[in-house]
């Protein structure tokens, strides 16, 4: 804001120049020369100066920067200022100034002469910064850095391309790397290669929209072992909401995930054979039937029941029976495709969910029947084991019970026909 009219402001370029400073975060002041009625009068101050000192344009009119001086303003600094100004040299210094309300503030400022076309001094321009704010910002930054460094969670700061700028102590413990080893490198160095690329695409899509991203990463430690890292990545933005950096806070969740996986494994796997159990069968059956209803994706069910297993179990004991069941489970594993799902239904019954039509599924069941008949039992080398199979294909309107019932009826038909056979449901 122009405080007083002055020939200096008759030049449009000067007015345009000052407009650029009006809402700067730095303080700018233009004063006149020593030869004016009030030496070095205020001619222009920007908005930041008024906020910093508490004075308005009207209160500054006819005043000079002496208005800001007080008991603690350094005489030595003012003497140096006077010498530099008289020699038309740039002055840079620091002292204590006083606001309108009498409160002190430390100011660091520079002064340069404004010269006309004949190189005569027509005024001075000063750029000022309140050091209290700078020190406060530095102290706050130091405090935050120390707080992050001492937190138990791992913290990592990167630029927008994923180049590492900072890592706290917890992060170096988590990964095994020191800050010197990773600073300036890309976070790709931690990738285990076991995460789908779609995971990272989703991450970058969220971050580039200034959104936080939460996920579990499978990363690699310096010593080579993989570990799970539960991580939240947040963009750090400037005052215009433009992203500047990314802050990632994480913790090692390997133990929790391993426990969760263990509990999930126990919930869905048969303890004896390691195959999926009936709970998993029920879940998969519902999902596959829904997919059949929505997309028409055909699948079939194979149900196998060991012949005369109760007699074997009663004659040789449950320990032998258990070994037989484990060997049968292994035959199923070796004989089926990766996408075929094998389940121990219970007792001596086994199921297979297979993405095939009835004819192809009958062929698979025949293969299983033959391989079980060829099985040489470790505990009972003289016993010939057989299994009867029933096969059923999904039909419109099926639910889990109806599909299973048709397969079970087919098994019953195979037993009635002499056992060691495959029967398909009509």
235 and 273 belong to one structural domain: no
Q: What is the average per-residue pLDDT within 402-422? A: 95
Identify whether 252 is part of a domain: yes
Burial of 292 (0-12, 13-18, 19+ CB in 10 A): middle
Judged against a pLDDT cut of 90, whether residue 254 lies above it is answered with no
**Predicted local distance difference test score (pLDDT) of residue 387:** 96
Question: Is residue 138 very low, low, confident or very high in pLDDT (cuts 50, 70, 90)?
Answer: low
Among 15-24, 329-338, 406-415, which is the least confidently predicted range?
15-24
250 and 294 belong to one structural domain: no
Please name which of 344, 347, 346, 309 lies closest in space to residue 329, comparing C-alpha atoms.
Answer: 344
Identify whether 417 is part of a domain: yes
**Predicted local distance difference test score (pLDDT) of residue 226:** 84
414 and 281 belong to one structural domain: yes
Contacts of residue 246, defined as CB under 8 A and 6 or more positions apart, other chains included, come to: 157, 158, 159, 160, 162, 207, 233, 234, 235, 236
Q: Which domain holds residue 114?
A: 1-131
**Predicted local distance difference test score (pLDDT) of residue 354:** 94
116 and 16 belong to one structural domain: yes
Q: What is the average per-residue pLDDT within 135-164? A: 74
**Predicted local distance difference test score (pLDDT) of residue 405:** 95
CA angle 54, 60, 65 (to 5 degrees): 90
**Predicted local distance difference test score (pLDDT) of residue 130:** 81
CA trace torsion 231, 234, 235, 240 (10° rounding): 180
Alpha carbons within 13 angstroms on the beta-carbon side of residue 71 total 3
287 and 248 belong to one structural domain: no
**Predicted local distance difference test score (pLDDT) of residue 1:** 58
CA angle 125, 128, 134 (to 5 degrees): 165
420 and 273 belong to one structural domain: yes
Judged against a pLDDT cut of 70, whether residue 263 lies above it is answered with no
Identify whether 32 is part of a domain: yes
Q: What is the CATH number of the domain that holds 51?
A: 3.30.450.20
Q: What is the average per-residue pLDDT within 19-41? A: 85
Q: Kindly state the helix (H) or strand (E) to which residue 243 belongs, with its residue range.
A: strand 243-252
Please name which of 39, 13, 55 lies closest in space to residue 124, comparing C-alpha atoms.
Answer: 39
Query: Domain count of the chain?
Result: 3
Question: In 3-state terms, what secondary structure has residue 394?
Answer: coil
Q: Which residue has the higher pLDDT, 346 or 366?
A: 366
Judged against a pLDDT cut of 80, whether residue 141 lies above it is answered with no
Question: Is residue 335 very low, low, confident or very high in pLDDT (cuts 50, 70, 90)?
Answer: very high
Strands (E), 326-404: 341-346, 349-354, 387-393
- How confident is the model over 222-244, as pLDDT tens digits? 998 888 888 999 998 876 788 88
Question: Is residue 133 very low, low, confident or very high in pLDDT (cuts 50, 70, 90)?
Answer: low
Identify whether 100 is part of a domain: yes
276 and 395 belong to one structural domain: yes
Q: What is the CATH number of the domain that holds 360?
A: 3.30.70.270
First-to-last C-alpha distance (Å) of the chain: 94
**Predicted local distance difference test score (pLDDT) of residue 106:** 85
237 and 352 belong to one structural domain: no
**Predicted local distance difference test score (pLDDT) of residue 275:** 92
What average pLDDT does the chain have?
Answer: 87
Please name which of 360, 320, 294 lies closest in space to residue 352, comparing C-alpha atoms.
Answer: 360
Judged against a pLDDT cut of 90, whether residue 343 lies above it is answered with yes
Bridge-based pairing state of the strands 300-306 and 387-393: antiparallel
343 and 253 belong to one structural domain: no
Question: Is residue 382 very low, low, confident or very high in pLDDT (cuts 50, 70, 90)?
Answer: confident
Question: Is residue 9 very low, low, confident or very high in pLDDT (cuts 50, 70, 90)?
Answer: low
Please name which of 357, 241, 200 lies closest in space to residue 292, comparing C-alpha atoms.
Answer: 357
How far is C-alpha 184 from the geometric centre of its chain's CA atoms? Answer: 19
- How confident is the model over 166-206, as pLDDT tens digits? 888 889 999 999 989 999 999 999 998 888 888 999 999 99
How far is C-alpha 73 from the geometric centre of its chain's CA atoms? Answer: 51
Identify whether 145 is part of a domain: no
Last residue of a domain, one of 229, 262, 295: 262
DSSP state of 8: G
Identify whether 137 is part of a domain: no
**Predicted local distance difference test score (pLDDT) of residue 301:** 96
- How confident is the model over 59-104, as pLDDT tens digits? 999 999 999 999 999 999 999 999 998 888 889 888 889 999 999 9
Question: Is residue 137 very low, low, confident or very high in pLDDT (cuts 50, 70, 90)?
Answer: low
333 and 408 belong to one structural domain: yes
Q: What is the average per-residue pLDDT within 359-367? A: 95
**Predicted local distance difference test score (pLDDT) of residue 144:** 64
């Amino acid at each position: 804001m122009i405080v007083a009219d002055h020939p200096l402001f008759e030049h449009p370029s000067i007015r345009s120049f000052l407009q650029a400073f009006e809402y700067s975060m730095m303080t700018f002041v233009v004063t006149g020369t020593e030869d004016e009625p009030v030496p070095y009068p205020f001619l222009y101050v920007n908005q930041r100066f008024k906020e910093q000192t508490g004075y308005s344009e009207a209160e500054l009119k006819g005043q000079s920067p002496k208005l800001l001086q007080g008991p603690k303003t350094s005489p030595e600094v003012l003497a140096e200022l006077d010498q530099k100004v008289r020699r038309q040299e740039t002055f840079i210094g620091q002292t204590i100034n006083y606001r309108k309300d009498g409160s002190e503030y430390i100011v660091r400022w520079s002064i340069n002469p404004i010269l006309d076309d004949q190189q005569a001094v027509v005024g001075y321009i000063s750029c000022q910064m309140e050091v209290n704010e700078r020190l406060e910002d530095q102290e706050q930054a130091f405090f935050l850095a120390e707080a992050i460094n001492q937190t138990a969670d791992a913290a990592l700061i990167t630029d927008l391309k994923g180049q590492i700028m900072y890592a706290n102590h917890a992060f170096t413990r988590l990964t095994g790397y020191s800050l010197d080893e990773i600073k300036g490198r890309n976070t790709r160095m931690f990738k285990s290669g076991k995460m789908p690329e779609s995971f990272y695409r989703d991450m970058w899509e969220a971050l580039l929209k200034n959104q936080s991203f939460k996920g579990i990463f499978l990363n690699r430690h310096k010593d080579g072992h993989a570990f799970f890292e539960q991580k939240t990545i947040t963009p750090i933005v400037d005052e215009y909401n433009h992203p500047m950096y990314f802050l990632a806070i994480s913790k090692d969740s390997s133990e929790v995930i391993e426990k969760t996986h263990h509990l999930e494994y126990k919930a869905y796997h048969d303890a004896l054979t390691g195959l999926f159990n009936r709970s998993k069968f029920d879940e998969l059956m519902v999902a596959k039937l829904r997919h059949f209803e929505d997309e028409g994706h055909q699948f079939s069910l194979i149900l196998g029941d060991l012949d005369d297993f109760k007699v074997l179990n009663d004659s040789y004991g449950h320990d032998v029976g258990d070994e037989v069941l484990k060997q049968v489970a292994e035959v199923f594993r070796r004989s089926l495709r990766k996408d075929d799902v094998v389940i121990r239904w219970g007792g001596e019954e086994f199921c297979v969910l297979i993405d095939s039509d009835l004819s192809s599924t009958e062929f698979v069941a025949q293969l299983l029947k033959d391989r079980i008949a060829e099985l040489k039992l470790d505990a009972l080398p003289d016993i010939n084991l057989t299994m009867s199979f029933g096969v059923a294909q999904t039909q419109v309107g099926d639910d889990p019970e109806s599909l299973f019932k048709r397969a079970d009826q087919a098994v019953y038909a195979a037993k009635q026909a002499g056992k060691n056979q495959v029967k398909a449901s009509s």
